[in-house]
Structure 1
Amino acid sequence: MKWIVLKRTIDYDGSQISSLWGYMEADLQEDSIIAFRGSCDVQIRHMIDLEDRKEGDSIYSTDMLHFVIEHFDSTDLKLIYTRQRLFASIVAETLLQRGIRTSRAGDDLFVQGKKLSISIASTSAVSQKIHFGMNVEHNVYGCLSDQGVPEKDMFSMMEEIASRYVEEVHDIEKDLRKSRPLSVI
């Protein structure tokens, strides 16, 4: 698995959750996590969450840190939702190390009772995908700027989160290769 943090701004519109976006955007043909910064405006046609779609919810932010994850080893929806929650926990741990206390409910992070993040997971015929976004600036929801995260630290925080997720996945795969199967008695 590889990670990359893009230096250019990309505005997230929901199309980035499509299969093989990492290949088209950054020439990554393996499991990957691509981080970038930009606004977020997910239109109804790109909404994966049917509850949001039925409610006609708006998913909008002027400035977010985005993480798009793709795994090719399975198309199991339960597995990608588990990975999504693992990722949210890694983000929460990373923020706590920076002095920002969050709470997690499923795949969502909250800071001082305000929703800080958005996330969705889904599968296609070839891969599993996760999008996770965190508000940098927002006048209604929680945001990193209100928590005192300096502008100069945003890029390094994306690198740290992405690399920690990749390390966790590699560690899991290493453990899989050292455990013997249970025997039937």
Structure 2
Amino acid sequence: MNYFIEHKPLNYDGSQLQSLFTYKNFGLKGESIVVFRGSCRVEQNEMVDLEDVLAKDWIYSEDMLHFIVEHFEMDLEKTVIRQRLLMATIKEVLEGQGVKTLMRSGDDLYEDKNKLSVSIATLSPVSSMIHCGLNVSNANTPIPTVGLKNLGIEDVLAFGERVAQRYCTEVQSIRLARCKVRGVC
């Protein structure tokens, strides 16, 4: 598994959650995680989470750190587990930088009742996909939020790269763990 850090701003509107996004846009073929920073505005027509659609919710942040993960397997339950692994990885990296105030609930991170993240896992015609966005700023969000800047994270893309590296290492470690055990009867 490989990762790519996009240094130019890229806004997220939900349309980026598509198969082969990293390959089409950045030339990175295969299982991948791409990290970029930009605003986030997901309207009803791009919503993947039907709970949000039925509640007529929308997602907005002026500044977010985004992760798009693609695995070439078609197992939604495994993808949700990987999504939670990504969220736990983000929390661990933040804790390593001195942020001890976050709580993970399912696929989201909170500081008290202030939400740091949005996240979704889904399937494409050829792969499984995860999007995670972390507020960098909490200005003008439609719900109570906290941002990475509030948590003392100044170099946002460097933080994103640490998360991507750790996620890739964890996935590789899982794959190697499958190869070292013998079957039992």
TM-score range, shorter chain: over 0.9
- The secondary structure found in structure 1 opposite 2:16 is helix
**Which runs of no fewer than 5 residues in structure 2 stay unpaired?**
none
Match of 2:42 in 1: 42
Cross-structure match for 1:144: 148
Q: Which runs of 4+ in 1 moved over 3 A?
A: none
Identity of aligned residues (%): 42
Alignment of 1:96-175 (within 5 A): 96-101=95-100, 102-139=102-139, 140-150=144-154, 153-175=155-177
Does residue 85 of structure 2 align to residue 81 of structure 1?
Answer: no
Q: Equivalents in 1 of 2:153, 2:51: separation in Å?
A: 32
Following the alignment from structure 2 to structure 1, what is the Cα–Cα distance between the partners of residues 168 and 151?
26
TM-score where L is the length of structure 2 = 0.94
Residue 22 (structure 1) aligns with: 22
Matched residue SS, 2:87: helix
Runs of 5+ in structure 1 lacking a partner?
none
- Taking the aligned partners of 2:81 and 2:24, their CA distance within structure 1 comes to 26
1:134 Cα deviation (Å)?
A: 0.3
**CA displacement at 1:113 relative to structure 2:** 2.6
Cα RMSD (Å)? 0.9
Aligned equivalents of 2:156, 2:125: Cα separation in 1: 34
The aligned length equals 180
Q: Do the aligned partners of 2:9 and 2:38 also contact (CA within 8 Å) in 1?
A: yes
More divergent stretch after superposition (23-32 vs 87-96)? 23-32
- Which amino acid counterpart does residue 148 of structure 1 have in structure 2? G
Contact kept? 2:83, 2:121, Cα under 8 Å: yes
